[in-house]
């Protein structure tokens, strides 16, 4: 539930100029969390940590050679089992 609240808060910040201005003035995570709670969003410190980790992983995969190899490979063609002829 909390992660959904965090995503809802981010959408609200994106779409509300006053809230965006208030969020930009926050000097640390605690002020940002307090702002979210004042506006009715049940956001916790763990949400900020999870979002940062998720962003780092996404960024890594965007530049990784591993991602390209997964995208370029094609799945093996499955063939129906054929019983031996007797």
Does residue 68 surpass a pLDDT of 60? no
- Regarding pTM above 0.75, the answer is no
Please give the Cα distance from 62 to 24 (Å, whole number).
27
Q: H helices of 1-86, where?
A: 2-15, 17-24, 29-38, 45-63, 65-72
> Is the pLDDT assigned to residue 23 strictly greater than 90?
yes
78/40: higher pLDDT: 40
Rounded Cα distance between 30 and 82, Å, is: 63
Q: Where do the structural domains in the chain lie, given as residue ranges?
A: 2-63
Residue whose structure tokens are 């992660």: 3
**Hey, which of 29-33, 51-55, 76-80 has the most confident mean pLDDT?**
29-33
Residue 72's pLDDT is: 57
């Amino acid at each position: 539930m909390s992660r959904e609240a965090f995503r809802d808060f981010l959408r609200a910040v994106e779409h509300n100029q006053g809230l965006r201005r208030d969020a930009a003035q926050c000097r640390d995570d605690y002020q940002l969390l307090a702002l979210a709670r004042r506006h009715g969003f049940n956001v916790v410190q763990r949400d900020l940590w999870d979002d940062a980790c998720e962003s780092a992983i996404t960024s890594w995969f965007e530049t990784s050679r591993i991602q390209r190899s997964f995208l370029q490979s094609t799945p093996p063609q499955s063939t129906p089992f054929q019983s031996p002829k007797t």
